[in-house]
Amino acid sequence: MVELRAPSIGVGQTALFIAWMRQMESERPDALFRDPLAGAMLSALAEDPVLADVAEVIKQTHTSARGFPTYFAVRTRFFDDEILAGVRGGIRQVVTLAAGVDGRTVRLDLPDGTQWYEVDLPEMTEFKDGLIAHSGLPLRCARHGIAADLREDWSVPLRAAGFDPGLPTVWLVEGLLMYLTDAAGEALLAGVSKLSAPGSRLTLEHLKAAMLQEEGRPARERVEEQGARWLSARDDLAEWLGGHGWRARVYAGDDPRIGQGRTVAPLPACWLATAVLDRSGV
């Protein structure tokens, strides 16, 4: 059996942090979801020194920002519900950009015929492919792991893997945009929009602008301890998405309407958006 090693890159380690948060939620008796892939990851990497570094960041997070870990549970459930609404409405093509250790392809109740494309950096894609094989968990759909840099032209490998831009798609952009420059984020949204057929749905997350100012400094420092860095934030998601043909609903990360009864810390402050393609106003 091939030995798994944790990704060494900063954003890759952030993906391990998020997976650990999902495992902690999975252990709750009132869990908003249960993620067996996160548990498999922690078992497989138990002796990896990178995981020890991530564990220290998690300890600091719980000490300094109570209610912040709950955000990841609420965010995960929000995106779960939006994705399931799309596939249950007839969409059979899902794309996750910067998939990390997202376990949705092994845990969501997906309709037959669902094709799921997970795009991430080569090191992360190799790790994820190996982790799924190592775990022995059955897939709930046809999964396609695609190695690509989202700051470059990722549409070519996506199409080569079988993605059909003529079919409606559910897009998920989770934990990514804040690590891209404004220009790179604009290019990514333009690429998603160009590849989207009528009826497509888009769900995404972004930082509030205040998180790049003094108010967000403590949270930024925790991110930087993992070797990553926030590069962008914005407060105009509805207008931004609308300019590319998407009709959006936007919620603050601590909005009780999406909180499932949980209390989420107001900082770090994020937006969660869900949108439907509507080019009539473009």
What b/e string do you get for 83-106 counting C-beta neighbours within 10 Å, with b at 16 or more?
Answer: bbebbeeebbbbbbbbbbbbbbbb
**What is the predicted pLDDT for the residue at 171?**
98
Residue 279 has pLDDT above 90, yes or no: no
Tell how strand 270-277 and strand 201-207 pair up. antiparallel
Nearest to 121 by CA among 2, 5, 232, 12: 12
Task: Write the pLDDT tens digit of every residue in 148-182.
Answer: 999 999 999 999 999 999 999 999 999 999 999 99
pLDDT interval class at 65 (50, 70, 90): low
**What is the predicted pLDDT for the residue at 226?**
72
**What is the predicted pLDDT for the residue at 280?**
64
Dist CA 8 CA 228 (whole Å):
11
* pLDDT (mean) for 52-79: 75
pLDDT interval class at 239 (50, 70, 90): very high
**What is the predicted pLDDT for the residue at 17?**
84
Residue 27 has pLDDT above 50, yes or no: yes
Beta bridge partners of 170: 94, 201
pLDDT interval class at 59 (50, 70, 90): low
Residue 250 has pLDDT above 60, yes or no: yes
CATH code, residues 75-213+230-281: 3.40.50.150
Higher-pLDDT residue of 19, 173: 173
Output the CA torsion sign for 134, 138, 140, 141: positive
pLDDT interval class at 1 (50, 70, 90): very low
* pLDDT (mean) for 22-36: 95
Dist CA 154 CA 221 (whole Å):
30
Domain ranges of the chain: 75-213+230-281
Nearest to 119 by CA among 61, 166, 173: 173
Give this prediction's pTM: 0.93
pLDDT interval class at 9 (50, 70, 90): low
| SS percent in the chain: helix, strand, coil, step 5 | 45, 15, 40
